[in-house]
């Protein structure tokens, strides 16, 4: 079964919009785990516009499933990860200006840099994953960095699925997953996955270890309830 890691950034966004601590991301993480999710993901950004560094420090003390911290490995981010020792760190090449992640790493161009960063994390026993576009060359480049896993950037799939081109949209992901598995890499995926498109993706992308879902899941929970939505994802991922 593919594991579900729930990204709780949007819960923090809602809290920050009003001030105070309602809703509380820490309590939300506890409840999401109690509903059956196998992981909690956060993506702290330098401006702390949703998840704050202090949230990460608190979450590392209470998350009992897998804890995944995503972000660009700048000095402050690396210090945060080393301090909290998550199960996994996912390297994402987002700049401070972007609203949300919009591209994977060029694992060929930045191979030397990524190799050094990953060696640092792995020396502390932290599993590493690289956010990549569904491109075979990027998968091969990721292997050369020493990473444990790749996370396939799934926005293109979600867009194609919504436009009724799901077979064409999923094809590059199938090929990349097959290659990654042959190379000994674990396979994660995330970005714009939803209740509508997750089952077809799961059925067509082999060896899928984990999906990280945040925006769609939290939006769906506004209509259906958080517990119901988490359990629906778990059922679809079986």
Torsion of CA 203, 207, 211, 217, to 10 degrees: 10
Query: What are the catalytic residues?
Result: 43, 70, 191
pLDDT per position in the chain (238 positions), as tens? 899 999 999 999 999 999 999 999 999 999 999 999 999 999 999 889 999 999 999 999 999 999 999 999 999 999 999 999 999 999 999 765 554 556 899 999 999 999 999 999 999 999 999 999 999 999 999 999 999 999 999 999 999 999 999 999 999 999 999 999 999 999 999 999 999 999 999 999 999 999 999 999 999 999 999 999 999 999 999 9
- Domains of the chain (ranges; CATH) run 3-236 (3.20.20.70)
208: its two tokens:
């899928």
For 169-197, give one letter per residue: b (16+ CB within 10 A) or e: bbebbeebbbbbbeeebbbbbbbbbbeeb
49-88 tens-digit pLDDT = 999 999 999 999 999 999 999 999 999 999 999 999 999 9
Helix axes 75-84, 111-123, angle to 10 degrees: 30
Task: Residue 157: name the closest of 203, 119, 217, 111 by CA.
Answer: 203
């Amino acid at each position: 079964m593919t594991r579900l890691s729930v990204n709780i950034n949007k819960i923090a966004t809602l809290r920050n919009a009003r001030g105070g601590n309602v809703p509380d991301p820490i309590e939300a993480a506890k409840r999401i785990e109690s509903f059956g999710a196998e992981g909690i993901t956060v993506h702290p950004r330098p401006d702390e516009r949703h998840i704050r560094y202090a949230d990460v420090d608190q979450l590392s003390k209470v998350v009992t499933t897998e804890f995944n911290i995503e972000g660009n490995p700048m000095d402050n981010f690396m210090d945060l990860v080393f301090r909290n020792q998550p199960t996994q760190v996912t390297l994402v090449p987002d700049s401070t200006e972007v609203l949300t992640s919009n591209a994977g790493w060029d694992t060929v161009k930045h191979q030397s840099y990524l190799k050094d960063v990953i060696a640092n994390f792995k020396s502390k026993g932290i599993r590493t994953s690289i956010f990549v576009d569904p491109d075979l060359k990027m998968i091969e480049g990721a292997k050369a960095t020493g990473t444990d896993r790749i996370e396939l950037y799934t926005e293109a799939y979600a867009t194609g699925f919504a436009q009724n081109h799901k077979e064409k949209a999923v094809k590059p992901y199938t090929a990349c997953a097959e290659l990654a598995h042959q190379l000994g890499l674990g396979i994660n995926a995330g970005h714009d996955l939803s209740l509508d498109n997750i089952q077809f993706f799961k059925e067509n992308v082999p060896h899928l270890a984990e999906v990280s879902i945040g925006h769609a899941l939290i939006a769906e929970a506004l209509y259906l309830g958080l517990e119901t939505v988490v359990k629906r994802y778990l059922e679809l991922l079986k």
